[in-house]
Amino acid sequence: MNFKTKARTLASLETKLLNAKIAKMVVFTTDQWRKEKIKILDDIQSHFGNVPLIVRSSCSQEDTLENSNAGRFDSIQHVTKAQIEFSIDQVISSYGVYNAVDEVLVQPMLKNVVMSGVAFSHDPSTCSPYRMINWCDGSDTTLVTGGKAGNLFQIAAHALVPNASKFSKILKLLNELLEFFGGVSLDCEFAVTKTNNKSTLWLLQVRPLVLASNPETDEMQWKRLSDIKARIKEDLNPKPFLLGKTTIFGMMPDWNPAEIIGTRPKPLALSLYRELFTDAVWAYQRDNYGYRDLRSHCIMKSFVGIPYIDVRVSFNSFIPKDLDERIGNILVNYYLSELAENPNLHDKVEFEIVWSCFTFDLSKQLKKLTQVGLSSSDQSSISSSLCKLTNEILDPVHGLWIKDSQKLEKLRLRREQIINSKLSKVDCVYWLLEDAKRYGTLPFAGLARAAFIAVQMLKSLVRVGIISENDYERFMESVSTVSSKMEMDFFNLNKNNFLSNYGHLRPGTYDINSPRYDEDPNQYFDWVHNKVKPSPTEPFKLTVSQSKKINTLLIANSIKINATQLIDFFRNAIEFRELAKFEFTRNLSDALSLVTEIGLDYGLSREDLSYCDIRSLKEMHVSFSDDIAFLKQNSDYGRQNYSETCKIALPPLIVKSEDVLAFEWPESEPNFITQKQITASIVDFKDRRSLRNAIVCIPNADPGFDWLFNCSIAGLVTAWGGSNSHMAIRANEKGLPAVIGAGRLLFDRCSAAQRINLDCLSRKVEIL
């Protein structure tokens, strides 16, 4: 079969479909409507009587192999007999230029709709043969097509779904349609009605799905996913030197790669993140701060280039090193089961699942462990270990975070020596990254741990009723980070001086293709019209009553600082974390600039270099060979592998190996920042001229997006990011309403909207 107009395609399927029904139709051309209007109205009346109708477009300009033009032309629902003539005229008018062969399709409105949506035979983003069902429960058939709501189920072409699944009939329909149309990629609209406990699937529309490139075969996809599944099945087994009987893989827990480098980073970005953090540095930091020694355990794995955190390794690293192994093992298994049962918490494990430090409600929280066999004595052991660990971090004189903050100056001094030396470019890259690890990312990891502890303890003060949510917001707004200093400097400094301080920043910190501020300053800043003086922040102080209550609890739990010192720690930990990030990213950014220059010397573009592994540059530092051939070979190899990465889709959380074959995209539990409400237009961050007073959508909470805060934006929505991420801290600091870590589904809906209402207090996002 070949695709025709919407109406004629449905008519050709009407008597052939086995897995769905097509509602009765009256179809006519615009020419017939001009000449035979009364006869057509009589036909509609005789076919349908007085039931509510839908008048649908069936224009020759839509549903073609080149363009779908989905939603371009009108379709009008719930049309009564009195409205039918006007509605038909309105649909024809939406076609624009008159074409005698354009059609109109009239059908009865379906009754008792319980589910509706859109199904694809292929994933438009990967062009791979994933069957995708975007659906919504309820009677409104426009929620999914209108982008207002919808869940998403995704399954590989050869994967099996039980007949009892709510998707089984829709998948059978997709496969039947593929057979009819010779395997041409397609999408269809469907609805499910239910009468007397009997469900009926209705096909509302089917059209060709326009893809950016030719899809790979079902067999190629199956081979790749089967290999990933087998690897994950092995990793789920118990492992020596690790507590916990299984594991989970997640894109957002702990070192959250989805937020930092994205879900499909290029090989250079992925290898840099491994080099600077997830191969070794992270474990050294946890060990230094009093947790179990996980050295030699890589916390991040990648499946055909898609990065995941090994959550068992992560949860092991939050167990105090002096805690009995029996208790630690039960704790890790408890954490894993909690995450498996609450996947929406995948970006909040340190706040909602794990106990990694003392909090003011710790004893109450630990009582949950009675259900997994940990006695009151065991709970006391956990509390004692966490209090001891917290004391060593909080100490106002010898605290671990103080030693880490002092390393930043050494990083600055050594960076100047490296940049001003006569080292080769390759050697400079090597030393910039080595120093970034020793004096940058290692102390940053420690300061980030301190900042997490600060926020955990601060939030627990809200939970026990000593401070209010408003107090929490006032404290966060009073924090003065390097980013707020950048805002003030943008107002006060001239262009050259500003860029000498902040020019190394770039959106996508690890992405060599992303220009630095000083490489394309006019892309990021309006140096003439957009200079708004930042408002001074109000200092935060505890009341006398609050201080007394905190001191009482600190003494009762043997925490060896007072309330004033605690608030100072909260502020210092958060501010120094942001400063450490600012400093180590300068080393990273300078290294990427030098890599760009090396590429130019060898005839390689930034894009070519983005497919290289940073280990190839390190190898050039220690080996003498044909560097040009070696680097080109590495780039070609990375490009080939990355083409495989772009063909697969995996869920944000993998609990069992079968999840790689079929999964629902979970609705995330977004992090709402502030308690404010705002209604504004939605703009993409690239549309710089429209940013003022708009809500901006950005993919992740990367510090390179700090330039946005100079553009008088009204609000912020990020796809990925946790409640303690950089953009969460900045939005809190600015008092800016934001949704951090909206998840793929909500982010896609917001990005496609024209205007939204963001109600942070009620934790709601409404597409207007």
CA distance 489 to 497: 9
- Tokens representing residue 369 in the block: 């462990």
Which residues, 6 or more positions from 386, have their beta carbon under 8 angstroms from its beta carbon?
Answer: 320, 355, 356, 357, 358, 362
Rounded distance, CA 276 to CA 285, Å?
A: 12
Tell me the three state secondary structure of residue 189.
strand
398 is catalytic: no
107-112-115 Cα angle (round to 5)? 90
Residue 11, SS3 per DSSP: helix
162: its two tokens:
């039980």
User: Helix (H, G, I), strand (E, B), or coil: what is residue 364?
Assistant: helix
Kindly state the tokens that stand for 235. Answer: 């990793």
What's the one-letter identity of residue 293? D
289: exposed, middle or buried (Cβ count in 10 Å: 0-12, 13-18, 19+):
buried
- CA distances 328 to 284, 291, 322, 387, Å, are 19, 11, 10, 16
Distance of CA 111 to the CA centre of its chain: 37
Burial class of residue 237, CB neighbours in 10 A (0-12, 13-18, 19+) = exposed
* C-alpha dihedral sign at 257, 258, 263, 264: negative
* Count, residues in the chain: 768
Q: Are strands 662-665 and 671-673 parallel, antiparallel or unpaired?
A: unpaired
Beta bridge pairs of residue 465? none
List phi, psi (to 5°) of 70: -60, 130
The arrangement of strands across the sheet holding 113-120 comes to 198-208, 186-195, 113-120, 130-137, 151-156, 662-665
Please name the residue that has the structure tokens 């003539």: 85
Whole-number Å distance between alpha carbons of 92 and 86: 10
297, 346, 504, 726: the catalytic one is 726
Do 702 and 695 form a contact (C-beta atoms < 8 A)?
A: no
Distance CA 695, CA 526 (A): 18
DSSP secondary structure letter of residue 320: B
The answer to whether 653 touches 666, Cβ cutoff 8 Å, is yes
Note whether 620 and 627 are within 8 A (CB): yes
The catalytic site residues sit at 726
